[in-house]
A = this chain, B = another copy of it.
């Protein structure tokens, strides 16, 4: 559906001109193919003066030859040709353009000059632009993508991606589906000649398909505006932020990359906290947080209940949880009484609850789910693989040993629940398969599981202060 908001046009154009279609391998070959495959053939107009037909589609000699209804141009010609192409786009009356070409401010003086020239042309014609040096957008809702994404990345979901770097966007699009995270929209910003992260954030805030936003930044285009925008967006949707350039040399590393100037890290830390943004310290943490935020309710308090098959993993998770601001309260008297009824005498009924080799995961998790002194739950599954094989030999399936994971989610719908599974690869795969589709995030690090739950609580608290609930 076309949109009045120019940002909307990037994600849902009426018709697209792709300038730089080509018959040899590369973006100009792959993107037309993927768009055709996804039903865009009628709304896609390829442009290249030297190619007549590509993938059975006509290739127009120039932008001017395209039909009038085109409202988005995707430009993938070499950088020196970009200014001329932008003029043709402007003359044609197209008002949105995604410049994927690299070779601008990120490469040095000559590139900076070229980017300035392009900027002038955009301004003259009133064209809104994404890029350059990016891979554009993904919209799973209408199967639109301006890069060669895999089908599994196009399965619609509730999580949006904003990445300053094109490759970073690609990495997430490649990686998230296997982590069980489904995408609503993705956008890579590149050198931000025009559109920046704040405009996208505001757009995604109004996007009914998006419930969680992940953002990778090397530096803010405008720090103050970013904080103000975060403050608004975070009131309704969690924004998970990974920012590089935490050290001076990390800053230097990004300079030639997307041509941005990363700021002092501590200022960013304060700014994100003020704006309600949830800062991840590493790529792995960003992904773990997304898995938990995309599926779990916000907790009503900081009290974590841990049920574990190994005291050691319970202790590691406890350390991480307490350091991150959570509380590990004793279990309630009622839970204590209930569990004493069936727990073996060696089992110490406490929090974290180490069920040892008893196999009592299911009743223990149910008891913790019902316990009013517990606000959120971490289940740590650790079964030695040899034991699992023995159980399998006896006809006992993993779900009988761990309980029905999907049932767990319904036991306490208001309490966030994270499963952590540690051990043999096949055990991890078994539990993940068992949890698939159940809206239960499965992580493999007890510490990161605890930190993700703590991040949920921090966000809940920020929101309470911001909007009173």
Contact = CB atoms under 8 A, between A and B. Distances in A.
Interface of A: 25, 30, 102-103, 106-108, 111, 147-150, 163-165, 167-168, 170-171, 173-175, 178, 216, 218, 242, 244-250, 252-254, 256-258, 281-284, 309-316, 318-320, 322-323, 328, 345-346, 348, 350, 352, 354, 356, 382, 384-387, 390, 394, 422-425, 427, 444-448
Contact of A447 (B175, B245, B282): B282
B312 A385 contact: no
A346 B103 contact: yes
Contact of A322 (B148, B164, B249, B356): B249
Contacts of A447: 281-284
Contacts of A258: 311
Given A147-B386, A247-B323, A253-B328, 10 more contacts: A167-B312, A167-B384, A171-B382, A171-B422, A174-B384, A218-B315, A253-B314, A257-B311, A282-B447, A284-B445
A246 B390 contact: no
A165 B311 contact: yes
Most buried by B among A328, A387, A445: A387
A242 B315 CA distance: 12
Given A148-B384, A445-B282, A164 B250 contact: no
A200 B30 CA distance: 59
B385 A311 contact: no
Interface class of chain A by DSSP: helix
A310 B346 contact: no
Contacts of A149: 386
Nearest to A179: B425
B283 A346 contact: no
Given A309-B167, A310-B167, A422 B175 contact: yes
A168 B448 CA distance: 17
Contact of A218 (B170, B309, B312): B312
Contact of A315 (B254, B345, B422): B254
A382 B254 CA distance: 16
In the A-B complex, list the 6 residue pairs whose CB atoms are closest, starting with the nearest.
Answer: A257-B311, A244-B315, A250-B319, A167-B310, A148-B386, A174-B424
